[in-house]
């Protein structure tokens, strides 16, 4: 049934093109023809129920609408099959360009071949495919951040504490790692580089536990509660791959009667408003700004370049927005 609807929609689009119609048709987009008329942009988000991606998608919508585009933002519900359908629907509706936050990085090949076959300029965001995968299509660009950098900054936040993370003075930093979705390169590289910053600085480390929390606040709370019950005072540092999990972990830390920056350190990534408050109040050691507004701005900028005819080749298909370390000293700069 869906296929039939998609076919009908495509047929309607083709008819409207042959009618020489240069005005926007219903919900359909318009190809870029230099007359400045703006079409519809399809935005696919991996799931709406993600704290960081909520700020990001709101920002994308605001920027695109501010520039006069029509915008359709859809929720993939963390289901790649559903997102594939949404991409196909956007294509059959004739969107002018797509901005896609893939559900699974492993689906990148399929997404890229779909948008390539349709010839739709596409910006991938937040979940970075490999350079090889992206090289398959020259009207494709990735906008995100250098995930390794955020991990390094988390490690540096710990190195900058009075005892470099070794609260109990036993010569090593004992930590637990609460990981995002391990399929995601942000989760992989933050996990690796946060610890690498310590070992590169000559600090001995001991991993007490590593658990996937899938970027989720409740999972962060559960994991930290379990680990605090199991390892108690041995835990000196809790690394969380994002702030939402760190906020969850903070609840567990407080319930366990521990005090951040006194008997335990806690770091996240994103600089969500809630985390900025906790850094300010001394309940988080620090976080790393994952600049949602900066990335949304750059994604739209790259989309417009693609619409203007820019093409990309292997090796220059990723555009990075810098991360920024957030500590009690500079947290005020990031608060509204
Ligand atoms: C953010 C996480 C978010 C994830 C979604 C990461 O870059 O730090 O908060 O859940 O992207 O893919």
The verdict on the CB of residue 215 being under 6 Å from ligand 1 is yes
> For position 49, what pLDDT does the model report?
97
- Rama region for 126: left / alpha / beta (φ>0; ψ in -120 to 50; rest): left
Query: In the sheet where 122-125 sits, what is the strand order?
Result: 70-75, 40-45, 97-100, 122-125, 140-144, 318-320
Where is 162: in which H helix or E strand?
none
Atom of ligand 1 nearest to the CA of 127: 12
> For position 36, what pLDDT does the model report?
58
Atom of ligand 1 nearest to the CA of 52: 9
> For position 198, what pLDDT does the model report?
98
**177 neighbors 196 (Cβ within 8 angstroms):** no
> For position 32, what pLDDT does the model report?
42
Q: Show the CA angle centred on residue 78, arms to residues 52 and 13, nearest 5°.
A: 100
Q: Which residues contact 166 (CB under 8 A, 6 or more apart)?
A: 172, 173, 203, 236
The verdict on the CB of residue 287 being under 6 Å from ligand 1 is no
> For position 335, what pLDDT does the model report?
95
The verdict on the CB of residue 126 being under 6 Å from ligand 1 is yes
Task: Write the pLDDT tens digit of every residue in 87-119.
Answer: 999 999 999 999 999 999 999 999 999 999 999
> For position 9, what pLDDT does the model report?
40
User: Measured in angstroms, how far is the CA atom of residue 264 from the centroid of ligand 1?
Assistant: 24
Low-confidence ranges of the chain (pLDDT < 70): 1-36
Instruction: Count CA within 13 A, CB hemisphere, residue 204.
Output: 5
> For position 26, what pLDDT does the model report?
32
> For position 336, what pLDDT does the model report?
79
Pairing of strands 324-326, 287-289: antiparallel
Q: Which of 143, 200, 159 is nearest to 320 (CA)?
A: 143
Q: Which of 5, 202, 165 is nearest to 89 (CA)?
A: 5
The verdict on the CB of residue 323 being under 6 Å from ligand 1 is no
User: Measured in angstroms, how far is the CA atom of residue 49 from the centroid of ligand 1?
Assistant: 11
């Amino acid at each position: 049934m869906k296929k039939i609807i998609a076919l009908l929609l495509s047929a309607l689009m083709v008819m409207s093109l042959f009618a020489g119609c240069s005005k926007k048709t219903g919900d359909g987009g318009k190809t870029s023809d230099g007359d400045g008329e703006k079409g519809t942009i399809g935005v696919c988000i991996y799931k709406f129920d993600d704290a960081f991606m909520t700020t990001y998608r709101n920002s994308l919508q605001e920027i695109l609408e501010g520039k006069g585009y029509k915008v359709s933002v859809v929720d993939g519900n963390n289901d790649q099959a559903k997102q594939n359908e949404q991409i196909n629907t956007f294509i059959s509706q004739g969107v002018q360009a797509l901005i896609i936050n893939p559900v699974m990085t492993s689906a990148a090949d399929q997404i890229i071949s779909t948008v390539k076959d349709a010839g739709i300029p596409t910006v991938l965001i937040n979940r970075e495919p490999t350079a090889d995968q992206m090289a398959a299509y020259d009207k494709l660009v990735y906008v995100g951040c250098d995930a390794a950098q955020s991990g390094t900054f988390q490690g540096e936040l710990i190195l900058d504490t009075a005892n470099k993370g070794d609260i109990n003075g036993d010569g090593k930093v004992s930590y637990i790692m609460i990981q995002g979705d391990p399929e995601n390169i942000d989760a992989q590289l933050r996990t690796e580089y946060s610890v690498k910053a310590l070992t590169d600085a000559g600090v001995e480390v001991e991993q007490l536990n590593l658990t996937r929390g899938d970027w989720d606040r409740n999972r962060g709370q559960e994991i930290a509660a379990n680990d605090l019950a199991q390892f108690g005072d041995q835990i000196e540092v809790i690394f969380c791959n994002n702030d939402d999990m760190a906020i969850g972990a903070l609840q567990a830390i407080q319930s366990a009667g521990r005090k951040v920056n006194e008997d335990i350190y806690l770091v996240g990534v994103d600089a969500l408003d809630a985390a900025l408050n906790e850094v300010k109040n001394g309940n988080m050691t620090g976080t790393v700004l994952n600049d949602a507004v900066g990335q949304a701005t750059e994604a739209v900028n790259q989309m417009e370049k693609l619409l203007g005819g820019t093409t990309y080749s292997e090796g220059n298909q990723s555009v990075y927005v810098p991360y920024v370390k957030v500590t009690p000293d500079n947290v005020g700069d990031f608060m509204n």
